[in-house]
Structure 1
């Protein structure tokens, strides 16, 4: 099929070739008459001599071989990461050491749908037509997003992912009965409480796994988080939390008052206001909490510091143009 903007259709090519081959026109004169270059005129004349009228059909311009094309195994790995982990082109490119544009072409060639079609939250937002308001403070410390993620603990010996649904449920109930006598105020059997403080500008996270979500625990974590960011050379100006009781307590307010930090709260039933730390909760679940089948809660918690260091120091962030959160915290010790 000829190009839609080509000056020669198949009929025009045939007339051009006949003028040169049969009528004996010079190449330059025939090229000027049909508005093409002399090389184009010579090409169609040569094809007419070799194949006749059948040679006037268009040929594919695709090369017979492409030694630099991405290998089939790499393409399958890219598609596998998209389907199994729901990664975007930038994340897949970082993992496979490819260019994001290359990964986009691979996913398009295999017919992979965009992530917004497979992600329930973003897909619903697009279908509803709601405008997304995005913001980012210009420097580290402008805003800390604080939240608590309650996570079910894994009983010793493994949960339902290791033992199956029935055996895992029996193991969990046995563990809870054994711990009933050691239950403390504010604790819930079989749960861990992960307290987060995430910087708005850099997405750098300070996080601890604690035993409850009481006001004393939340205030203590906030004091340690502020000290941690101060050690990084970051001066915290604002903190945003939800309307949980621990964040409305006097103990929590006293910690922020002593540090000279302003406290903001989200609108009720609007977790999107604190969306950056909510997105970190999702990353935490996908890449640490449920990334593999653990044999116990102790095993899973022992890997949390490594996950947190990987997130802060090495993991590429799409909002940061593929850089790690630590790249925006410029005052870190060597």
Structure 2
């Protein structure tokens, strides 16, 4: 029970002296001072043993701490911190060698605090719990996006547009390409190189901007057409809803913190060299909290769908009416022209009837491109 006083020493001394006076009633004095008998006898015992000095507050630190980190452990934690200054206690704990007894991550946290080590860019006490969603298998879904472009130190070299591709299941970084622009040809080259190394996914997800998103109301982009020919579906996030690309967005934050923001780069080649070196660490060394502090490579497997040397032909149903799309993105049917997207230039599309009289559907591969209303052609 706590003392009811403003100055603890004076109150304790007063209580002890009153107790030692003749005809003192200890129970009544305890009630008046608001303390228990156990507390009263503790301070009386200390006063008899040490005098007034025994009434001082004592440190509550235990006489011995068998679980306190030893010097070797502290040196290993500090060495890992200086090598990976952006990683927190959980990640550093997972990287400790098996030669030492692995401590709880709070012990590593305490070591960093004791040596006034700050995790760069992140408060050391930060602890946030997220509800995570992921696909069941590697290569079920890849997330793709451009990290915000940044200027190179050599102004004549332009700007760097980092293209990133992340596997949804494993968080494995499949590509960080230092691009000079965000055009279709540039993205296709980077994707083809990625497919040749890791195989092809079942599906991509991307935002709605070019080159993967169409700026028009209908139609497919050149990139979507190429991916459709490869049998890869493409999904798009809702406008102003970055959570759909949450894993890649979080990856971008780490990339900016640990690579882009650390130094300047004079050329795309310098950027690519830094990206490649960091990607190896991210995939094979850096523990990931959502993967039970294992690196992404522990869960990733290459796709069994190899990239073909020649695009497979587009096949349609026997009763489909086939039309070729002109360079402006139009097809001709029944003396009218219908827009289906410039991305389908020189491609063949299929026109199929529906259950509604006079209403037709236009397909490219498995993608429904648009509807044609013969009663109201436009």
**Equivalents in 2 of 1:114, 1:155: separation in Å?**
27
- TM-score, normalised by the number of residues in structure 2: 0.53
Higher helix share: 1
Residue 104 of structure 1, CA deviation: 3.3
In structure 2, do the counterparts of structure 1 residues 74 and 297 end up closer, same or farther at CA, with 3 Å as the change threshold? farther
In structure 2, do the counterparts of structure 1 residues 250 and 320 end up closer, same or farther at CA, with 3 Å as the change threshold? same
In structure 2, do the counterparts of structure 1 residues 65 and 239 end up closer, same or farther at CA, with 3 Å as the change threshold? closer
**Equivalents in 1 of 2:73, 2:43: separation in Å?**
45
**Equivalents in 2 of 1:58, 1:286: separation in Å?**
45
In structure 2, do the counterparts of structure 1 residues 132 and 63 end up closer, same or farther at CA, with 3 Å as the change threshold? closer
State the structure with bigger RCO (CA 8 A, min sep 6), 1 or 2.
Answer: 1
Answering whether residue 140 of structure 2 is matched by residue 142 of structure 1, we say: yes
Alignment of 1:15-164 (within 5 A): 60=60, 62-63=62-63, 68-71=68-71, 74=74, 87-94=87-94, 99=103, 100-106=105-111, 134-156=132-154
Residue 227 of structure 1, CA deviation: 3.6
Q: Is the 8 A contact 1:91 1:316 kept in 2?
A: yes
**Higher Cα Rg: structure 1 or 2?**
2
Aligned-pair RMSD on alpha carbons? 4.7
Bigger shift: 103-112 or 236-245?
Answer: 103-112
Give the match for residue 9 of structure 1: 38
**Equivalents in 2 of 1:65, 1:132: separation in Å?**
34
- Would you say how many aligned residue pairs link Structure 1 and Structure 2? 255
SS of structure 2 residue aligned to 1:303: helix
Q: Is the 8 A contact 2:163 2:179 kept in 1?
A: yes
Structure 1 unaligned blocks of 5 or more: 18-46, 157-171, 176-188
Alignment of 1:170-181 (within 5 A): 172=155, 175=156
Give the match for residue 202 of structure 1: 170
Structure 2 unaligned blocks of 5 or more: 3-35, 214-219, 305-378
**Equivalents in 2 of 1:62, 1:91: separation in Å?**
29
In structure 2, do the counterparts of structure 1 residues 117 and 103 end up closer, same or farther at CA, with 3 Å as the change threshold? same
In structure 2, do the counterparts of structure 1 residues 59 and 300 end up closer, same or farther at CA, with 3 Å as the change threshold? closer
Q: Is the 8 A contact 1:150 1:191 kept in 2?
A: no
SS of structure 2 residue aligned to 1:9: helix
Q: Is the 8 A contact 1:89 1:103 kept in 2?
A: yes
Residue 332 of structure 1, CA deviation: 8.9
**Equivalents in 2 of 1:263, 1:69: separation in Å?**
51
- TM-score, normalised by the number of residues in structure 1: 0.59
